[in-house]
Amino acid sequence: MDASNYLYISALLFTIGAVGVVVRRNAIVVFMCIELMLNAANLSFVTFSRINGDLNGQVMAFFTMVVAACEVVVGLAIIVTIYRSRRSASVDDASLLKR
Amino acid sequence: MTTSTSLVYLIALPLAGAALLLLGGRRTDKWGHLLATALSASSFGVGVYQLTQMLGRSTEERPVSQKLFDWINVGAFNVDAGLLLDQLSICFVLLITGVGTLIHIYSISYMSHDQDRRRFFAFLNLFIAAMLLLVLGDSYLSLYVGWEGVGLASYLLIGFWNQKPAYATASKKAFVMNRVGDMGLSFAIMIAFATMGTVSFAGVAEQAENTSEAALTGMGIMLLIAAAGKSAQFPLQAWLGDAMAGPTPVSALIHAATMVTAGVYLITRSNFVFDAAPTAQLLVVIVGAITLMFGALIGTAKDDIKKALAASTMSQIGYMILAAGLGPVGYAFAIMHLLTHGFFKAGMFLGAGSVMHGMDDEVNMRKYGALRKFMPITFATFGLGYLAILGVPPFAGFYSKDMIIETAFNAGGVKGIILGSVTLLGAAITAFYMTRVMILTFTGTKRWDENAHPHESPWLMWLPMAILAIGSVSSGFLLSRGDALVNWLHPLFDHHEEHEQHLLEPIVVSGLALTMVAIGIAIAFVKYSRQDVASVAPEDVSVFTKIARQDLMQDRFNETVFMRPGQVLTTTLVATDEVVIDGTVRTVGKIAMGSGSALRGLQNGFVRSYAALILLGAVALVAAIWVVVQ
Amino acid sequence: MKWLTLLMLLPLAGAAIISMLPKSMEKAAKQAALGTSLVVMAATIAMVVRFQRDNVDFQFVEKYSWIPSFGINYALGVDAIALVLILLSTILVPVVVLAGWNEAHGGRWSVKTFYILILVLETMMIGVFAATDVFLFYVIFEAMLIPVYFLIGGYGTGERAAAAVKFLIYSLVGGLLMLASVIALYVMSGAQGGHTFDINKLSELQMSSTTQNLLFLGFFIAFAIKAPVWPFHTWLPDAAKSATPGTSVLLLGVLDKVGTYGMIRFCLTLFPEASETFTPIILVLAVISIIYGAFLAIGAKDIKRLIAYTSISHFGFITMGIFAMTSQAQSGAILYMFNHGFSTAALFLVAGWMISRRGSSTISDFGGLQRVTPIMAWTFFLAGLSSLALPGLSSFVSEFLVLVGTFTRYPVHAIIATFGIVLAALYILIPVQIALHGPTTPGNEELKDLNLREKLAIAPVIAIIVVLGFYPAPLLKVINPAASHVITQMGFTDPAPTNGGK
Amino acid sequence: MLQLALEVGQTAKPEAVMFWILGPLAVIAALAMLLVKKAVHSAILMAFVMIILAVFYIAQDAAFLGIVQIVVYTGAVMMLFLFILMLVGVDSSDSLTETIRGLRSLAITAAIGFGGLMISLLGHATLGRSAVGLTAANADGNVQGIAALLFSTYVWPFEVVSALLITAALGAMVLAHHQRSTTRPTQRQLSINRFRGDSLGTAAGLSGPGVYARHNAVDVPALLPDGTPAADSVNATLSARGDMLDYKKFDLSEINTKVEEEK
C-alpha cells in the first residue's frame, strides 16, 4: 500500500479541523478541532517517518503531543476562567478586544 | 588725507546719551533732558573744533578720516567701520548738531509736561548719532547703517504718541516707505560691489571711470530711489505729511532740517556716479522737478499748519534734488539751499510748535487768526523765516533759491527752459501758500475757540527760534559771500570750468523770481486777506482743491496699486498655504488613516474571523508554493 | 583632552543628577539644569578659545570603533561651521532654561522630566554638529526627534499632540530618504576600497551623475524639511505654535540649523556635482521661501506662527547663501545661522512672556503694551528690529553678506530676495503696532513687566545681537576660512568685479 | 478513480484493508464532529477519530506513538475535555446558524481551496515513490529507537518541553484558581440575608424537588400549596440545561388509571 494515502487523509482531517475552528462557536469544540488539526499533522509526521525510514518524524510527533497536552491544559483553564466571568463558552461573546 | 582720533566722539557722545537714558529708565527722568542737550551741544562743540582744525589746513589736507575697526571682512568684501569728515560732511555735522542742539533746548520746555520726556530726549540723541553716522560714514555700507538708524529714530519719534492708532500707523507708514528706499540703497551697494569690487566712497570714486555707464546708471537710479525714500521725493513722498504726527520739534529737526535732506547728501556724495551717468542725472532732475511742484500744490490746500509746512519741505527738497541733478554746477547750490532751508524751515516749524503750544495743540489754521498781537516773538521769527523761504533779498532763501533757478535756466536748451519755468512757478506757488499760512495764522480776525488763551511761549522756546531766525536772515548772505560755500566744496566736486552759457542774466532771473513771488503774494492777499476766512474748511471748492487736499491722491494711489493687491496676495498665500500645501500634507495623512480604518474593520474582535483570515493566508501560502512547484 | 565627548557627557551627567532628585524638588531640578547648561557653555567657550581658526581641517578629532563589522565609528570633530553652531546651542540652552523657568508646569509629565529632556537634547545638539561619521550623524539626527517630540507633545499648549506628531512624521519622512542615501553611500564605499561611513573618505567616492543626483536629493530633502525650505515648511508653524517658547527657541534656533548645516556638510561636500546641478532649483526654492514666508508672516494672526513664518523667510536667505557659491554668501549664511538663533530666541522668549501673561497668543488680544509693560515691549521691539535686519544689529551683517554675495553671481535672485526686506519691515511693524502701540486693550491693564530673572535671561541675547551687529569680526574671522574652504572644494572662485562690462 | 479501484483490488493486503475501512470512517467521524449540535457528541466522535489515528500509527510501525496516542489523547486529554464539558456545558447544544455574515461560505471556500491545493501538491510530491519503511530503524525496537533519539539528539528540546509541561500545569492552576473578591459569607450573614431578603418565602430554605409516585428524582419540581410547580426547587444547572421534567407527567389526574388488558 502506498504510504502517501495517509498523507491525503491527514490533509483532509487538517482541513476539516480548520473549518471547524472557523464555523463552530463553542470554545470547547473549537479546541477539539484544533486538536484534530494537530493530530492530522502528527499523522503526517509518522507517515513521513515511515517513508524516510527514519525515527525523527516520530520524535517530532511525540513532541507535538506534549505541546498539545500543555496547550489543552492551559487552554481549557482559560475557557473555564472565561466561562466563570461571562457564563458563556461561546468564542463570539469574548469579542471586546477589537479596533 | 588727515587721520584723526576724535571723529568718533561726534557720534559717541549722543549715542552714549541715548543708551544711558534708555537703559537708565525712570532713574534718569530728572536730569535726562539736560544730559541729552549737553551731549548734543558737546557734539556740536567737537564739530566746531573740527571745523577750525580743517580751516587751518590746506585744501588737500582738509578731509579727515578715522578707522575704528574692521567691520565686515569677507573675501574681497572689505568694509571698515571708518569715518570720513570732509568739506561736505562738516556742513552737515554743524547743521545737525547745531540745529539739533537748538531743538533740544526748545524741547525741554515744549515737552516739559510729557511724562515720557526722557524717552523723547533719548530718541533725539539717537537720531543725532545716527544722522552723524550717516554723514560721517566713509562707505556706502556705513552710510547705510546711519541711513536706517535715522529711519528708526524717525519711526520712534513719529510714533512717540503711538497710543493714538493714527499716529502709530503714520510711523509704520514712514518706516515701510523708507524701507522701499533702503532697498534701493541695498541694490546700489550690491551693484557697486559686483561691478567695482568696493563699497567705499573713495573706492567707488576711483573705479567709476573704469566702469560702464550702464552699471553706473543702474547704481545711480538705485541711489535716486534711496534718496527719494528718505527725502520724501516722488514717488515715495506719501509718508512725509503723515509724519507730522510726531511732536513738533521732531518735525522741525528730522522732517525739515536734517533727515529728509539725507537724500540730497547721498546724491551729492555720489557725484562721481551721477557725473558719469547722465541718464540717472536726468532722472534726478525730473524727480526733483515733479516733487517741487507736487509739494507746492499740496501746500496750497492744507489747513493743518504742520502739513502745510511739510508740503513746503517736500517742495523745497525738490529744489535741492533738482539742483543736485544739474551736475557739478548744482551740487554746491543744493547744499547751500539745504543749509539755509535748515535754518528757516526749522525756525518756522518751531514757530508752528510755539503757536500750537499757545493754542492747546490746535493745528488747524482756520482756527487761528490775529495771533500777531498775542505772540509777537513767534510772529517775528516766523515772519523772518517766511521772508527767507520766499526768497526776498537779502534773506537767506534769496541767495540759495535764486542760484538754483538760475542754474536751472542755464542747464541749456529745452531742458533749461522747462526746469527754469518749473522752478519759477514753484517760487510763485511757494509765495502763495506761505503767504496764506502767514495770513491765516497771524493776521485777520480771530477765529479760535472761546476757551483758547493764546500766549507767548517761554524763553526756552523762543530763544532757539530767535537764533534760527538770525540764521534765516544771515546764512544766505554769509554762505554766498565771495562764493564761500562753492569754493569750500569745490575740491570735492569735479567741476569742469567750462564757461556756462547764460541763458538769462542773473539779474533778470532775480527779477523774474521776485515778480513771480510778488504775484503769489498778491493772489494770496486777494484770496485770504480781503475776505473773511471760514473757520471750517468750505466744501464747495473746485475739483483741483479737493484733489490737492487729498495730497494729490498719493495715498489712494498707493492703496490701490500696492496695499490692496498686497493684502489680496497675502490672504491668497495664507489660504494657499493652508489649503494647497498643508492640505496636500494632510491629504496624505488622511489617506494613511483612511486605509488604516478601512483595514480596522477586519479587526472585529471575533476570534473566528481571525481564524478564517489565517486560513485564507494559509491558502495563499499553499497556492504560492503550488505555483512555484508547478 | 576629549573636548567634544566631554561636552556631550556633561549634559547627560546633569540629566542623570536631575533624574535622581525626587519629583517634588522642582526648584532643585531647575537649578541643576541651569547649572549644568552653564557649565557646558563655559566648557564650550574654553574649547572655542583653543580652536585654531586658520586650520580648515576637522579639529578636536576623536575616533573610536563603534560597530567594526559595518565600519561604523564614533568619530567626532569640528570645523568652524560646526564650532559656531555648537557655541550657539550651548549658549541658547541656559538662556532657554532661565527664560522658561515656569514653562514646564502644567505639562503632561513632571518638571524634572522636562529638564532631563532639555539636557538630553543638548547632548544631541552637540553631537549632531560634531559627528564626522555619516552613520553617527544619521543616528543622532533621528534620535534628536525623540526629546523634541516629548517636549512639544508633553509640555506645549493647544493641539500639542497633533503638532508633535506632524513634526515627527515630517522629520521621519526626511530621515527615511536620508537613510536610503546613507546606505547607498555605504554600499558604494564597499565597492571602492572598503566599507566606511567616514565623511572624508565618502567625499572621494566616484559615482555616476545620476546616482549622485539621487543620493543628493535624499540628503537635500531631509535637510530641506528640517530647515525648512518651501514647500516642506508646514510643520514648523504648527510645531512652533504648540511648543513652549523655550522648546520653540531650540527648535527654530538650533534644530532647524541642522538642516542648513547638513546642506553644507553633506550635500556640498559629498555631492559637489549634484549640488551644482540642483543649484538653480534650490535657489528658486530659497527665493520663494524668503518672499512666501514673509507674506505668510504678514498674514499671520498668531504671534508664534508669525515668528515661525519669519524664520522660514530667514532660512530662505541661509539656503540661498549656501548655494550661491561665493565666499561672501557662504560666510553670510553661516553667520546668519548663528545670528538667527539669537534674534529668534529673543523674539520667541519675549513673545512667550507676553503670551503667558495674557493667556493668549493672538496678536490682536494685545494692545498698548508699551505703556503697560515698557521693558517687555521694548525688548520685543528690539528683537523685532533684529529680525527685520536693521543695520547695527547682528542679522543685518549676515543678511547683507548673503545678498551681496548672491548678487555677484545670481543678480536676479538677489534682487527678488531683497524685496524681502520691505516685507520684513511689514511683518515686524504690523504686530508691533497691534500689540505694543495704540490704546491699551481692555484686560491688559494689569500685566506685569519683566522680572529680574527674565531680564537676566534676555540681556545676554540682546547684548550679543547688538555687539555682533557692530563688531562681527571675531566670528567672521573664524567663519571665513571654513567658508572659503567650502567654495574652493566645490571648485568655485568669487566672481571678479565686472566693471559693468567695460 | 480507476487507478484507485485497481489499487484497492490489487493491494488487498491487511494494511490496505484496514486503511480503506478506517480511513473513510475517520473522515466521516471528523465531519460529523462539525455537524453535531451537542459538544459531548463532538467529544465522542473526536475520541473515535483519535483511536483510528492510533491504529494508523501502529500500522505504520509507530507502536510507541500509537499507545501514547490512546493513553494520552483518548485517555487523558479527552477526559479533560469531558470534565470541562461537565463544568461548562450547561448550554449543551449549540446553534449551528452562522452569526457572522459570510464567514461560513468563506470558510468552506477556503477549506476547499486549501484541501484541493494540499492534495494536488501531495500528488505531485509523492506519487510514484515507494516508502523506505521502518524495519531497519526499528531493529532494536521502536521504543528503544525513539528513546535513543530523544535522549541524545533531542535531549535539549526534551528538557525544554518538560519545563513547558510543568509551566503549563502551574499556569492552568493559576488560571483556574478563583480569587475571591469578597469575603466568604458567614453562616450568620447568610441567615440574616435570608430573613432580610425581598421575600420571606425562602426564609426557611429552598424546597426540595418534588416527590411523586411514579418519579422520585432531582429533575422534577415540587408543587407549591396552590398546585403550581416551584421552579427553584430544581437545581439551576438542570433547569438551564433543559433537563427539568414537567411535573404534569406525574400528576395524579394525568395518570391513566385504567389497567389495560394485556393482549
Report the candidate in C111, C106, C104, C3 with the shortest Cα–Cα distance to residue C58.
Answer: C3
pLDDT tens, position by position, A53-62: 888 999 999 9
Place of cell 476757551: B451
Supply the pLDDT for residue B496: 55
Report the candidate in C241, B582, C174, C145 with the shortest Cα–Cα distance to residue B590.
Answer: B582
pLDDT band at D227 (very low <50, low <70, confident <90, very high): confident
Question: Which residues in chain B (570-629) have CB-CB distances under 8 A to chain D?
Answer: 604, 606, 608-609, 612, 615-616, 618-619, 622-623, 625-626, 629
Give the SS3 label for residue C400: helix
pLDDT tens, position by position, D200-210: 766 777 777 77
DSSP string spanning B246-285? S-HHHHHIIIIISGGGHHHHHHHHTHHHHHT-HHHHHHHH
pLDDT tens, position by position, B82-103: 888 888 888 889 989 998 999 8
Report the candidate in C344, C350, C336, C346 with the shortest Cα–Cα distance to residue C394.
Answer: C336
Which of B613, B621, B622, B628 has the highest number of chain D CBs within 10 A, making it the mutation to test binding with D? B622
Chains A and B touch (3+ CB pairs under 8 A): yes
Supply the pLDDT for residue C88: 93
Question: Cβ B609–D100 below 8 Å, yes or no?
Answer: yes
**How far apart are alpha carbons C424 and C385 in whole angstroms?**
9
Q: Which of B298-312, B467-481, D45-59 has the highest mean pLDDT?
A: D45-59
Supply the pLDDT for residue D1: 53
Provide the CB-side half-sphere exposure for C473 (13 A, CA): 11
pLDDT tens, position by position, B345-362: 888 888 888 888 888 778
Sorted by where each begins, the domain ranges of chain B are: 277-548, 559-629
Report the candidate in D158, A90, D74, C467 with the shortest Cα–Cα distance to residue B19.
Answer: C467
Supply the pLDDT for residue A16: 94
The interaxial angle of helices C80-99 and C26-49, nearest 10 deg, is: 160
Please state the φ and ψ torsions of residue B81, each to the nearest 5 degrees: -80, 95
Question: Cβ B74–C234 below 8 Å, yes or no?
Answer: no
Chain centroid, CA B241 distance in Å = 11
**Chain A contact present for B608, CB below 8 A:** yes
Rg, chain D, Cα only: 29
pLDDT tens-digit profile, chain C (502 residues): 788 999 999 999 999 999 998 888 888 999 999 999 999 999 999 999 999 888 888 889 999 988 888 888 899 999 999 999 999 999 999 999 998 888 888 788 888 899 999 999 999 999 999 999 999 999 999 999 999 999 998 888 888 888 899 899 889 999 999 999 999 988 888 888 788 888 888 888 888 889 899 999 999 999 999 988 888 888 999 899 888 888 999 999 899 999 999 999 999 888 888 998 999 999 999 999 999 999 999 988 899 999 999 999 999 999 999 999 899 999 999 999 999 999 999 999 999 998 888 888 888 888 888 888 888 989 999 999 999 889 889 899 999 999 999 999 999 999 999 998 899 999 999 999 888 888 888 877 888 888 888 899 999 999 999 999 889 988 999 999 999 898 888 888 888 888 777 6
Burial of C220-246, coded b for 16+ CB within 10 Å and e otherwise, reads: bbbbbbbbbbbbbbbbbbbbbbbbbbb
Which of A23, A29, A95, A97 has the highest number of chain B CBs within 10 A, making it the mutation to test binding with B? A95
Give the SS3 label for residue C109: coil
Most distant CA atoms of chain C, gap in Å:
75
Supply the pLDDT for residue B495: 58
Domain count, chain C: 1
Chains A and C touch (3+ CB pairs under 8 A): no
**Chain B contact present for C483, CB below 8 A:** yes
Chain D residues close to B620, C-beta within 8 Å: none
Supply the pLDDT for residue D252: 64
Chain D residues close to B623, C-beta within 8 Å: 113, 117
From the list B608, B615, B619, the residue facing D100 with the nearest CB is B608
Residues counted in chain C: 502
Question: Cβ D176–A81 below 8 Å, yes or no?
Answer: yes
Burial of C403-436, coded b for 16+ CB within 10 Å and e otherwise, reads: bbbbbbbbeebbbebbebbbbbbbbbbbbbbbbb
Q: Are C319 and C289 in contact (CB under 8 A)?
A: yes
CA-CA distances (angstroms) from residue B174 to B207, B246, B255, B305?
A: 34, 11, 11, 20
pTM of the model: 0.80
3-state secondary structure string across chain A: CCCHHHHHHHHHHHHHHHHHHHHCCEHHHHHHHHHHHHHHHHHHHHHHHHHHCCCHHHHHHHHHHHHHHHHHHHHHHHHHHHHHHHCCCECCCCCCCCC
Tell me the ipTM for this assembly: 0.72
Q: Subunits with at least 3 CB pairs below 8 A relative to chain B?
A: A, C, D
Place of cell 551627567: C13
Domain of residue C243: give its range.
Answer: 3-499
Chain B residues close to A91, C-beta within 8 Å: 606-608
| C104 DSSP 8-state letter | T
Question: Cβ B190–C404 below 8 Å, yes or no?
Answer: yes
Question: Cβ B187–C418 below 8 Å, yes or no?
Answer: yes
Give the SS3 label for residue D163: helix
Burial of D63 (0-12, 13-18, 19+ CB in 10 A): middle
**Chain A contact present for D124, CB below 8 A:** no
Question: Which residues in chain D (190-219) have CB-CB distances under 8 A to chain A?
Answer: none
- Look up residue C230 and give its amino acid: W
Grid cell digits, residue B263: 537724500
A:B CB pairs within 8 Å: 32
Mean pLDDT, residues B444-451 taken together: 77
